Amino acid sequence: MVNLGDVFPNFEASTTDGDIKFHDWLGDSWGILFSHPADYTPVCTTELGMAAKLAPEFKKRNVKMIALSCDSVEDHNGWIKDIKQNSGESGEWPYPIIADKNRDLAIKFGMLDPDEKTAAGLPLTARCVFIVGPDKKLKLSILYPATTGRNFDEILRVIDSLQLTATKKVATPVNWTSGGKCMVLPSVKKEDEGKYFPKGVETVSVPSGKGYLRYTPQPE
Ligand code: BEZ
């Protein structure tokens, strides 16, 4: 298992874009690795189609996308034709899909869903999301069971939060979306608020009298 803050392993894999070494493939970009139970399955088909549709949004955020499914490159290439037709996406396929036929990576990264099994009784791969920073460290991981498709708008939202909070002394509150009010980090001293937050800080008065609920407009 990879924990938040760990350097994501520099694994090697065969993909629909050829063989890769993860760190070289990532370069100086952020990366998202998302896994799928198997090719030619319905929920995965909708997820990969949505990811393809949103590829320009990921690119705008300097995030390279890579999917993983436990089948061969040949199967992936056949499946991509179905995904394109179902999602209405045409043109060049925008991101590679890793072939993990022997489940080496699925096992290594703890991606298996014990409740969903193949016809042969093997656990299927769950729907993992790993977001890795340009420093190659794991910034976020989400794990969904095979039976629940992901929300790619939410994934873009968390990337916005990760990229903002990587450089500014803020955290993002419940249901935040880009441009919304942020919370001042508890580690910022009251006397330093003016230095870090020239747009101002609003401290909410609470029964405890502790001034920990501090809002500030999203820093530039
Ligand atoms: C799917 O992608 O539709 C799926 C795959 C495995 C289990 C359940 C659903």
Sheet arrangement for strand 63-69: 18-21, 12-15, 97-99, 63-69, 30-36, 127-132, 138-144
Higher pLDDT, 19 or 110: 19
What residue ranges line ligand 1, CB within 6 angstroms?
37, 41-44, 116, 124, 146-147
pLDDT in tens, 22-60: 999 999 999 999 999 999 999 999 999 999 999 999 999
Percent share of the chain, pLDDT over 90: 92
pLDDT in tens, 107-136: 999 998 888 888 888 888 999 999 999 999
Indicate the burial class of 82 (C-beta count within 10 angstroms; 0-12, 13-18, 19 or more): middle
What's the pLDDT score for residue 113? Answer: 83
Q: Would you call 153 a catalytic residue per the annotation?
A: no
Looking at the predicted structure, is the pLDDT value of residue 190 above 90? yes
Of the residues 19, 104, 115, 135, only one is catalytic, namely 135
Number of C-beta neighbours around residue 4 at 10 A: 9
> What does each C-alpha distance from 136 to 22, 41, 195 come to in angstroms?
9, 31, 30
String of DSSP letters for 80-146: HHHHHHHHT--SS--S-EEE-TT-HHHHHTT-EEEEEE-TTSPEEE-EEEEEE-TTSBEEEEEEE-T
Distance 148 CA to ligand 1 centre (A): 8
Q: Would you call 44 a catalytic residue per the annotation?
A: yes
pLDDT in tens, 194-220: 999 999 999 999 999 999 999 999 999
Of the residues 44, 70, 128, 182, only one is catalytic, namely 44
Nearest CA to ligand 1 atom 8: 147
